[in-house]
Amino acid sequence: MRLIYTILVIAIILAFTFTHFLFFTYNNIHSNEQHIFQSSSGDFTFYLKLNTTKISPGKGIAIVVKLFYDGINPVYINVSNTIIHLPSPYPCGSHVLVGLEVFKGYYTISNISLAKPLLFYNPRIIFFCPMMYAVAQYKLLPLSDQIQLIYNGKVQATLNDEISTSINGYWIINSTSGKYTFFQPGVYTVEAVDYFNQTVLGYFTVT
C-alpha cells in the first residue's frame, strides 16, 4: 500500500512538472515570436525581422535588419575614404552595410521606388552626432554578422552588421513646423536593403 501511495505521489509530481514545462515553453515561444523575411545571394544571407505584423495606434514595432556572411575567407570592400550611405532611421546615419525604410501603404519591388519613406526624426532639430569613423576599407568577418572598419591599415571598430529600431510613429514636416503622429490604421511596408543590392520587404498592419 505504501509503495502504491509513493508511486502515485511521484506520478502527480511528474505530471505537474510536465504541465508547467509545456505552459512555460509555449508562453516563452509565443512572447518571443518573430516574423523573419530573408534573401540569399552567394555567401550572403540578408534578414529582415519584425517582432509582430499587427499593432494598434500608439503601439510600437521592433525592426531588425541584418547581413550574415557565410563565407570562410574575409571579404574586403574599399570605399576611397568615404562612408557608405544607406537609408537609416537614425539622424546621424550608421557605418553598417545595411539600411531600412518604412512606407505608408502596400508596395512591392516593382513600385516601391515611387513611394516616399516615413521620417523617424525631426530634421528641424539639430542633433549633435558623435564623431564618425574615417573608413577606407570594410572587412566582413567569416561566418558572422560582424564587420570591421579600417583606416590606414588600422581597425577603427568592429560592429554587428545590423540596424535595429523600435518605432511607434513618424514625423510629418511642412514648411513651418513638424508634427509627430502615431502609426494610423492601414498597411505599412518595410524595405531592407544592403550594400550588395539585396532587397527584402516586410509588412505590418495597424488596426
**How far is Cα of residue 23 from the mean position of the Cα atoms in its chain?**
29
Query: What integer pLDDT is reported at residue 82 of this predicted model?
Result: 63
Q: What is the CA radius of gyration of the chain?
A: 23
pLDDT, tens digit (0-9, with 9 covering 90-100), for 34-70: 799 999 888 999 999 999 999 999 999 999 999 999 9
- Cα–Cα distance for residue pair 89/79, rounded to 1 Å: 22
Q: Residue 19 pLDDT > 70, yes or no?
A: no
Local confidence band at 134 (pLDDT 50, 70, 90 cut-offs)? confident
Residue identified by cell 514625423 is 171
DSSP 37-71: EEEEETTEEEEEEES-SEE-TT--EEEEEEEEE--
DSSP designation for 114: G
**Opening angle at CA 201, ends 195 and 205, nearest 5:** 145
Residue 190's CB: how many other CB atoms inside 10 A?
22
- The strand pair at 75-78 and 61-69 is best described as unpaired
- Cα–Cα distance for residue pair 89/190, rounded to 1 Å: 12
**pTM of the predicted model, to two decimals?**
0.79
Query: What integer pLDDT is reported at residue 187 of this predicted model?
Result: 98
* Torsion angle in degrees (nearest 10) through CA of 89, 92, 96, 101: 20
Cell readout for 155 is: 581597425
- Cα–Cα distance for residue pair 130/10, rounded to 1 Å: 61
Task: Let me know: does 118 contact 189? Beta carbons within 8 Å.
Answer: no
